[in-house]
């Protein structure tokens, strides 16, 4: 996700801002910019698409931009392609307000409409420009000063933000506001710093304040003052950061993978909120019309790796909800087969990176046949996103660890949303079922968080698997699709051989591999298949298997069969992959940790496979 920095004090600001942004590069970005106000109160804004190096060269490493108060930003695109116009800082027309933002303003379209009626024009596609001009609007309309204008904007917007704002009338001062997106503020020797994350200011100070949700701050040479949303002054105590620089990039987590596992509640919520408005799914920005949906004769999902596993979930969910035939294909196989596609087919391509060679090639093949394509992608402006007819962006933010977790989870969410929308438009579910499914979706973030809060049991069990040579995952239906992802997670970061098996298929050969002590993970979240899978677990137990069971609360009879049982909260059975996958992600991570491996950079693997 985006990174923001700010500085005000006696030193020149530009090189401090650039250095701070360089410490946030790990967060992933596609453009960057700074704004610096000089002693005469003039503000210069410099932005550049691409790597930070481009901005450094443009500003002669900061030397060309004078002033001791400024803000900076690295942008991970969520609304609008990577470009200079869309890069931050964003400004009001008369430079009265200049700001940078990390987060998502969900209702930015309605805010733009409101401001347009009041004479504002917009130069970018971003949600950020909307909040900048909204602050300017309130500042001029009520003449209540910066804190009042920002507070009014905070009340009006929906979404998440870490904002750093400069006002022309208040040179030398930076105003901050936060809701859900991270921000810290540091003070040292009469200098004030702000940033999205600790690494950006660790060279300057370890003395930081954590601004809380719906709070604001005023940074100046005399230090920092905090305010609540009513504009009342509040007192906060600073804390001393004890992390070293490297662990600070991971927000205190040992690995990016663990950090990204913990980012799933927010990533899932952001992705849901990107299209769910007032309890309804709004696909208008995605571009799949009701007419398109009614005309779909079959769906083919094409992807690789974990994205393919999302497709496997999608097959069960879409067929059950929308009654549309679905086929899931490995892109590397699909692209070389004689594909007999119906003209009314919809091909769905799923890719975190949007650059996977096999998936991109499959997309191009299908487009040549004149078949409609729909992409589910995490990286804005990536090749697959640009070339598909329609794209639904997951809002997982940049994913650093090679083993995908939060991107996988947001892809699942998009698959559910697509399934529900297809079912509603095609009359397969009524209004009540539609509303109930959407309401249940919005409970997933807190249910994921509940699982994360109880992760110690998984860590204990993982230590028992670290020396194993073979581990099996078995399940039926959607549970089989969950097994596929759990098995891949384990394999790719612990190097233990693992197989996911349709539980009913085991006895057709592979059960011969089960011997005393062989670990088998049974996934049982589908009520109507529960007893069937229990039987398969009893079969392998009778051959000596060491059983872990993964099910939803209430199925305590599983403990009669399994040696170790993990429970996840209840949800609509179509959505259980979003919950069941979390213990399996944690299991893989902790096994990797127990083996002393680097979970973030597993051997032989790349984050994006851009070659065949
Ligand atoms: C997932 O943990 C793996 N790193 C890998 O299977 C990945 O899902 C696959 O390469 C597809 O990548 P994509 O989603 O970027 O297309």
Q: pLDDT tens across 166-193, in order?
A: 999 999 999 999 998 889 999 998 899 9
Rounded distance, CA 121 to CA 98, Å? 15
Answer yes or no: are the C-beta atoms of 532 and 485 closer than 8 Å.
no
Residues with CB under 6 A from ligand 1: 304-307, 351-353, 356, 359, 402-404, 492, 608-609
User: What's residue 555's pLDDT?
Assistant: 94
Mutate to test the pocket of ligand 1, among 301, 305, 329, 377 (most ligand atoms within 8 A of CB): 305
DSSP conformational letter for 574: G
Distance, CA 125 to ligand 1 centroid (Å)?
29
Q: How many CA atoms lie within 13 A of 271 on its CB side?
A: 31
DSSP-derived 3-state class of residue 431: helix
Nearest atom in ligand 1 to 411's CA:
14
Q: What is the pLDDT of residue 251?
A: 78
Catalytic (active-site) positions: 2, 607
Distance CA 431, CA 437 (A): 10
CA angle, residues 536, 539, 542, in degrees to nearest 5: 150
Q: For 339-388, write each residue's pLDDT tens digit.
A: 789 999 999 999 999 989 899 999 999 999 999 999 999 988 888 998 99
- Token pair for 377: 């992608």
Distance 376 CA to ligand 1 centre (A): 13
Q: Which atom of ligand 1 is nearest to the CA of 492?
A: 2
Question: How many angstroms is it from 608 CA to the middle of ligand 1?
Answer: 7
Nearest CA-CA partner of 404 in 285, 492, 273: 492
Q: Which of 256, 261, 307, 399 to mutate to test the pocket of ligand 1 (most atoms within 8 A of CB)?
A: 307
Q: Where are the alpha helices (DSSP H) in 144-192?
A: 145-156
All residue ranges of the chain with pLDDT < 70 are 243, 247-248
Rounded to whole angstroms, the Cα distance separating 22 from 245 reads 13
- Give yes or no for a contact between 360 and 383, defined as CB atoms under 8 angstroms apart: yes
Q: Which atom of ligand 1 is nearest to the CA of 407?
A: 14
Which pLDDT score, from 0 to 100, does residue 604 have? 80
pLDDT at res. 247: 65
Instruction: Say what the pLDDT of residue 77 is.
Output: 87
The side-by-side arrangement of strands in the sheet containing 564-568 is: 497-502, 470-475, 519-524, 546-552, 564-568
């Amino acid at each position: 996700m985006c990174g923001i920095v700010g500085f005000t004090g006696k030193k020149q600001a530009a090189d401090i801002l650039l250095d701070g942004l360089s410490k946030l590069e790990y967060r992933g970005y596609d453009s960057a910019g700074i704004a610096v106000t000089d002693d005469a109160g003039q503000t210069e804004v410099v932005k550049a698409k691409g790597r930070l190096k481009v901005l450094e060269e443009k500003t002669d490493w900061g030397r060309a931009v004078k002033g001791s108060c400024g803000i900076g930003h690295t942008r991970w695109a969520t609304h609008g392609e990577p470009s200079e116009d869309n890069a931050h800082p964003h400004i009001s027309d008369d430079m009265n307000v200049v700001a940078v933002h990390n987060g998502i303003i969900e209702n930015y379209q309605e805010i733009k409409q409101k401001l347009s009626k009041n004479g504002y024009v917009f130069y970018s596609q971003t949600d950020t420009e909307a909040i900048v001009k909204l602050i300017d609007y309130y500042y001029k309309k009520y003449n209540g000063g910066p804190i009042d204008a920002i507070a009014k904007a905070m009340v009006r917007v929906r979404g998440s933000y870490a904002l750093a704002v400069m006002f022309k009338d208040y040179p030398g001062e930076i105003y901050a506001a936060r809701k859900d997106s991270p921000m810290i503020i540091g003070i040292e020797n009469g200098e004030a710093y702000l940033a999205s994350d600790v690494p950006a200011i660790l060279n300057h100070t370890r003395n930081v304040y954590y601004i809380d949700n719906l709070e604001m701050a005023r940074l100046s040479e005399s230090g920092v003052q905090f305010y609540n949303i009513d504009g009342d002054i509040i007192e906060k105590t600073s804390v001393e950061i004890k992390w070293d620089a490297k662990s600070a990039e991971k927000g205190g987590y040992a690995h990016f993978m663990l950090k990204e596992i913990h980012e799933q509640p927010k990533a899932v919520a952001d992705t849901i909120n990107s299209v769910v408005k007032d309890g309804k799914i709004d696909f208008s920005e995605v571009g799949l019309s009701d007419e398109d949906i009614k005309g779909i004769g079959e769906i083919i999902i094409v992807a690789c790796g974990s994205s393919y596993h999302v497709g496997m979930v999608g097959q069960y969910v879409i067929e059950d909800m929308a009654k549309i035939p679905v086929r899931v294909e490995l892109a590397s196989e699909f692209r070389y087969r004689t594909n007999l596609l119906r003209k009314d087919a919809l091909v769905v391509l799923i890719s975190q990176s949007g650059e996977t060679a096999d998936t991109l090639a499959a997309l191009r093949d299908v487009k040549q046949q004149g078949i409609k394509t729909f992409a589910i992608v995490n990286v804005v402006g990536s090749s697959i996103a640009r070339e598909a007819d329609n794209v639904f962006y997951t809002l997982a933010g940049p994913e650093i660890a090679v083993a995908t977790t939060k991107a996988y989870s947001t892809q699942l969410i998009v698959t559910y949303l697509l399934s529900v929308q297809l079912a509603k438009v095609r009359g397969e579910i009524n209004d009540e079922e539609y509303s109930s499914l959407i309401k249940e979706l919005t409970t997933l973030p807190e249910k994921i968080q509940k699982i994360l809060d109880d992760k110690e049991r998984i860590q204990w069990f993982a230590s028992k698997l670290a020396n194993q040579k073979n581990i099996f995952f078995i399940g039926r239906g959607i549970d089989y699709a969950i097994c596929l992802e759990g098995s891949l997670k384990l394999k790719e970061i612990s190097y233990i051989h693992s197989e996911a098996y349709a539980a009913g298929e085991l006895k057709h050969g592979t059960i011969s591999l089960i011997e005393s002590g062989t670990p088998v993970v049974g996934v049982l979240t589908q009520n109507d298949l529960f007893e069937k899978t229990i039987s398969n677990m009893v079969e392998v137990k009778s051959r000596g298997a060491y059983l872990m069971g993964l099910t939803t609360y209430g199925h305590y009879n599983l403990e009669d069969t399994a040696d170790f049982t993990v429970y996840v909260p209840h949800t609509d059975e179509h959505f259980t992959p979003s919950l069941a996958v979390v213990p399996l992600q944690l299991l893989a991570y902790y096994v990797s940790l127990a083996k002393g491996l680097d979970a973030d950079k597993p051997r032989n693997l790349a984050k994006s496979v851009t070659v065949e």
